[in-house]
Structure 1
Amino acid sequence: MIQPVAVIGAGPFGLSTAAHLRARGIPVRIFGEPMVSWRAHMPAGMLLKSTPAASNIDAPQRGHNLVDYCDAAGIPRLVTDEDIIPVETFVAYGEWFKQKLVPELEQVRVVSVDRRGTAGFDLKLDSGEQFAARAVVVATGLSGLAQLPPELAAAVPDGPTPTGPVSHSSQHHDLSRFAGRDLIVVGAGQSSLETAALAAEAGANVRVVARGKGAVDFGAPPWEQPRLRPESPFGRAWSLYAISYYPHPYRYLPPQARHFLVRRILGPLGAWWLRDRFEDKVDKREVRRIASAEVRDGSPVLRVETLGGRTRELAADHIMAATGYRVDIAAMDFLGHALRARLAVSRGTPKLGAGYVSSVPGLYFTGLPAAASYGPVMRFVCGTEFASPRLARHLAAAHG
C-alpha cells in the first residue's frame, strides 16, 4: 500500500499544497481546522491589508480564485486595488476552496511526528490513530508562533492571556470586551493599528505605543503609486516585484541578509484606507524603547523611554502586544525531539532547499516558516502561487 503524504495545517498554504498534490494523483491526508487563524485569531470586522490580486489561494486549475468565489457566492466581485476584503469574506473563500479541492480534510490535530527508520514518518493524531506517511508538509501558519517582547513577557511569567493584564493580539476575536476600558496596544504594524482602530470603534480608550520616531505610518493609496515602476501584488517597486516573482535565488543570500530582508521588506506599515479611522481617534505614543512592564494591583504599567530620553510610566486596564510572530522550530512541539534535533536551522527557522524540503528528506515547510529561505512573499497568501506547485513537483519527483 502506498503511504500518503501528510499535510499539517489547513490555512491557505496547507489547502493550496494539498490541492496541488491531489492534482498530481498523490494520496494526501490533510489535518487541521480550516482557516482557523483567520477565523479565530483575527479581530471581528477586520479588513485585509492585501489587495484582491494578492489574496488568491493558488490552485492547480482555473476557477478557484477570489473572483470565482465571489461569483459563486453571488457577492460583488473584489477585483481592483481599491476593493477591500473583509476577513469574513476571506474565511468563506477558504472554506469554499476546501470544499471544491480538498474535501477530505480531517479536522483533527497531529500530536506527534517522528522519523520512521531510514524513510518515512510515523504520525499520531489526537483521535488516537497512528499511521505512516512517506512525506510530511508542515503548513501550520501562525499557530504557536505569537511573539511577546521580553519586556512584556517579564510582567506575566505564566504567559499572556486574553483575560489577564497582558495579552497578544492573536488571542482576541471580539474587541467589544474593551468598551469603556483603557487599552494600550504595542506595535506599529497593520495588526497593531487596525486592532487599535477597531477597539476604539468598540468604545475603548486606546493608546498605541510604537518604537521610533515616525514609526506609525500609512501606505499610499493606489492612485498615488508610482506608475513607472513594475507592478506587484504589494505595490509598485522593483524590490517588491523581485520578491514576488523571483524568490528562487533568495536562499543563496548570506543568512544575515536573508533575515534582515524578511524583517524590513513589507515591514510595519498601516494600510492606506486605515488612516482616517485611526487618526484623531487613537492616541499615538512613539517612544525610544519600552524599558519594562509590571503589574500593580492587577493592572499593567508600561515604563517607556521617550524620544527625548526621559522615562515615563503609562498605566492601563490592559496591554495588548500586536508584535507579530516569530518562527521557532522549538515551538513546533508536535515534531519529535529527535526529528527537531536533526533539522538544520538558522535563527530558529528551518533551512530549506529546492522544493521547500528541509535537511530531513521528506520533511517540507511552507508558508511563514519558509520566509527565511524564500523571502517575505512567504508571509502572504499570494506566496502560494510560487510555493505550492514547486513543493508538489519536488515531492512527486522525490517520493513518487
Structure 2
Amino acid sequence: MKKKTLSLLLATVLLSSGLPLTTFAEEVQQTPQESSEQAQEVETSTSESITQESSSQPIAPPTESTQERPPIETTESSNETIPSVDPIPSEVVEASPTEVIQEAPPVNEVTIPVETAAIHFEKNTTTEEFVDRIGESARSVGQEKDLFASVMIAQAILESGSGGSDLSQEPYNNLFGIKGDYEGQFVTFGTQEDDGLGNLYQVQAAFRKYPTVKESLEDYSKLLTDGIDGSPLFYQGTWKSHSESYKNATEALTGTYATDIQYGEKLNELIQTYNLTQYDHTKGEIVPGGDFEPYNNVNYDTGNSYAWGNCTQYVYNRITQLGGHVDLNMGNGQDWGYTGVSRGYEVSNTPKAGTAVSFPAGVLGADPAYGHVAFVEHVHEDGSILISEMNAVGLGVVSTRTITAGFGGMLTYVTPK
C-alpha cells in the first residue's frame, strides 16, 4: 500500500509540474504571429503617412488682371514639356518655421543607384533657337548679379519647355513659372496643387507677367541673390564668387530649388549639350593670362575621330574654334610633332601662342604610353608658357597650367595651318 500510494503521489506531482511548460510553449508559438501583425500595422501606417510633392502647373486658359493684387508670392514650376526631352517639375522649397517633418520608421530596403550617364539630351532646333533668343540677356544678368548664365539658361529650358509653355511666351514672358505679380502685372492660370496628402486639386493662381524675357531673368536672379524669407543666403551656393564652376551651382540647386535628385545632372547635361558656358564670360573675353577667348566647349570632331574627353580631341576643338586647322588623324599626343613634320606643318621646339604642344611619353605628367598634347594660350617674357589641356586632372575636364622655360624647350610645337 505504501508503494502504491507513493507511486500515485509521484505521478500527481509530475503531472501538475508539466502543465506550465505546455502553457509557456503555446505562448512562445503565438508571439511571432502577434509581432507580424504589429509590423503590418506599422507598415500600413507608414505608407499612409507618406505624401507626394507636386509642383503646380498652369493647365487652363489664362485671364489677365492689373487691378486686384494677388495673394502672397511664391515660386513654382510651370512644368511644361521640352520638345524631344523629358523635363522635370521643380519648385522653390520654403519651409515654414512651424512645419514638422515626421520621419518614417526605419525599414530594410535596397537602394538601387541611378546611373547619371543615362541622362542625355539630343540637340534640337527649338531649344537652340530658344538659347539664341535669351542667351545675351542671360549673359548680361549673370555678369551683373554674380551668377552663372549657363545655369540660368539651362533652368529656363527645363522650366519653360524651351520657351514652349504659354506662360513663357508673349505677352507673359515668365520663363521660370514664378507666382505673384511683377509691378502689379500678373496673369491667372488654372493650376494643380497638392493638399499635403498626395491629392491634387485645381485652383486659379496668379503668375507674374513681364514686359520682356530680360525682366523675367532679372527677377529670377533676384531670388537667387536675395534668398527666401528668413534666409537671405539660401542660394549662396549658386553665386560665382562661392563656386569653382557651374557644377557647384547646379548641385546647390538640387534639393533646394527642385526636389528632383537628378536636377543638377540634368542641368549639367543641358549646359554641355548646348555649350552654355560660353555665356558665363563677357563676350570676347580672353582666358585669364592668355591671348585668346575662352574655350566654347563645342565638339567640332562630330565623328569622334579622337577619343571623347581626351587631350587630342580638345586640342583639335580648341584650334578649330579659333579658326585654325589640324588633321583629325594626327595620332596620339606624343605623335603630333612627327606627324606634323611629315605633313608639312610648321614644327619647332620654340613655343608660340596658338600652337599645339606635344609631350613625349612620361614627360611632365604625360601618359607613359601615349604622351600628351595641349594648346599654348600664352608665352611669357621669361620663356614659360601657359597651356590649356584636357584630361590632365580628369576625363573631359579642361584645366590650365604654366610650364617653366627650362622644360618648355623639351616639347614640340605644331603651328596649325
TM-score (norm 2): 0.20
Q: Would you tell me which structure has more strand in proportion to its own residues? A: 1
TM-score (norm 1): 0.21
Rg larger for: 2
The structure, 1 or 2, with the larger RCO (C-alpha pairs under 8 Å, 6+ apart) is 1
